[in-house]
């Protein structure tokens, strides 16, 4: 019989894996700065697109082109910000890497 200590026994060991450490390394600062810049630029471009839309409806024909450019720029900034946010979450350990989270080969290979 075993003595009840965690070290005793044939298959003794921790029941759960150790949790990944969350750390603020050097990679997090540029990601956080880029995310902040993208969100601020997105907000400004949305504000400008609204302003250009009002001008275009008022009769200024050149504002339509500026409205299209501001809209495309806002879409690009939002997309880049979302991508940087996902990368920041992976760096901080808040989201798992999809290649690690899913076993290859399906259910039979996982057995």
pLDDT, tens digit (0-9, with 9 covering 90-100), for 1-25: 555 555 666 666 666 767 666 566 7
Please provide the size of the chain in residues.
111
CA distance 43 to 24: 27
Helices (H), the chain: 28-57, 63-92, 98-101, 106-110
pLDDT of residue 52: 95
pLDDT of residue 7: 60
Tell me the whole-structure pTM to 2 decimals: 0.66
| Distance, C-alpha 43 to centroid of its chain | 18
pLDDT digits (tens, 9 = 90+) for 25-84: 788 999 999 999 999 999 999 999 999 999 999 988 899 999 999 999 999 999 999 999
Q: Which range has highest mean pLDDT (77-81, 87-91, 99-103)?
A: 77-81
Kindly state the tokens that stand for 53: 């839309």
Q: Where are the domains of the chain?
A: 39-96
pLDDT of residue 4: 54
């Amino acid at each position: 019989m075993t003595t009840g200590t965690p070290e005793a026994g044939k298959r003794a060991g921790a029941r759960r894996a150790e949790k990944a450490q969350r750390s603020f390394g050097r990679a997090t600062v540029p990601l956080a700065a880029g995310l902040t810049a993208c969100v601020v630029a997105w907000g400004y471009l949305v504000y400008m697109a609204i302003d250009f839309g009002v001008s275009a409806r008022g009769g200024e024909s050149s504002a339509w082109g500026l409205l299209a450019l501001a809209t495309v720029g806002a879409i690009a900034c939002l997309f880049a910000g979302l991508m940087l946010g996902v990368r920041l979450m992976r760096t901080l350990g808040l989201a798992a890497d999809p290649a690690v989270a899913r076993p290859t080969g399906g259910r039979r290979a996982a057995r």
